[in-house]
Amino acid sequence: MLADLVQWLVQNILDMGYMGIFLLMMIESSFIPFPSEVVLIPAGYLAQQGEMNIIAVFLAAIFGSLAGAFINYFGALIIGRQLLIRFGKYIFISNSSMEKMEDFFQKHGPISTFTGRLIPGIRQLISIPAGLSKMPLLPFSLYTALGAGIWSMVLIMLGYILGKNQELITTYLHQITLGVLGALMVLVFIYIRRKGNFIRQNDKK
């Protein structure tokens, strides 16, 4: 099923162009579950084939991710926590997901809008607690763009590097994604651990 979807995207993403990438990444970055790897890895493949510009793909991915994040941010800001808890299940936001991302945001602060973008299950929805807490828009946008940029570039480059063998993309997409997620999780863990040590050292002074 996933391989068929990837194949369809590889065949049709040129017709949608960069606007198609923007729209798909906006959906992926909002509350609608949609895996970004099925968009950006094939887009990277097309860039390797010379059918798309890799810089334009990257920019479309970042701006699409920002647009989706703004939907969640301003939606949460306007709707409020109580209505989200009451009606969130109708837009794919369960109470357990709300609790998970709120705990993550409260524990790590505004920087979590950057680190959270690299963690599955949190990355798409971390913008919601940022909106609920009325996080200033400028740092929110910068952190979100940075996190989304790292994630997008990793996936685009995977598609670009593997572009000479399309079969690798369609057959091993799941394993490739797990590998990328594992590496990013290690980086996030190292960051969180170092941040915790830094805070503890300052508390002792």
Lowest mean pLDDT among 27-31, 46-50, 58-62, 106-110: 106-110
159: left (phi over 0), alpha (psi -120 to 50) or beta: alpha
Q: Would you say residue 74 has pLDDT above 70?
A: yes
DSSP 23-48: HHHHHHHTTS---THHHHHHHHHHHH
Q: Would you say residue 36 has pLDDT above 50?
A: yes
- 163-177 in b/e form (b: 16+ CB < 10 A) is beebebbbeebeebb
| More confident of the two residues 93 and 170 | 93
Tens digits of residue pLDDT in 144-176: 998 899 889 888 988 888 766 656 655 665 666
Q: Can you give the pLDDT at residue 173?
A: 58
3-class SS letters over 116-181: HHHCCCCCCCCHHHHHHCCCCHHHHHHHHHHHHHHHHHHHHHHHHHHHHCHHHHHHHHHHHHHHHH
Element (H, E) at 64: helix 54-79
Q: Tell me how far apart the alpha carbons of residues 20 and 39 are, in angstroms, rounded to a whole number.
A: 9
Q: Of 42, 47, 24, give the one whose Cα is nearest residue 170.
A: 42
Q: Tell me how far apart the alpha carbons of residues 24 and 8 are, in angstroms, rounded to a whole number.
A: 14
Q: Can you give the pLDDT at residue 48?
A: 87
> What's the whole-model pTM score?
0.72
Q: Can you give the pLDDT at residue 4?
A: 65
- Terminal CA-to-CA distance of the chain, rounded, Å? 56
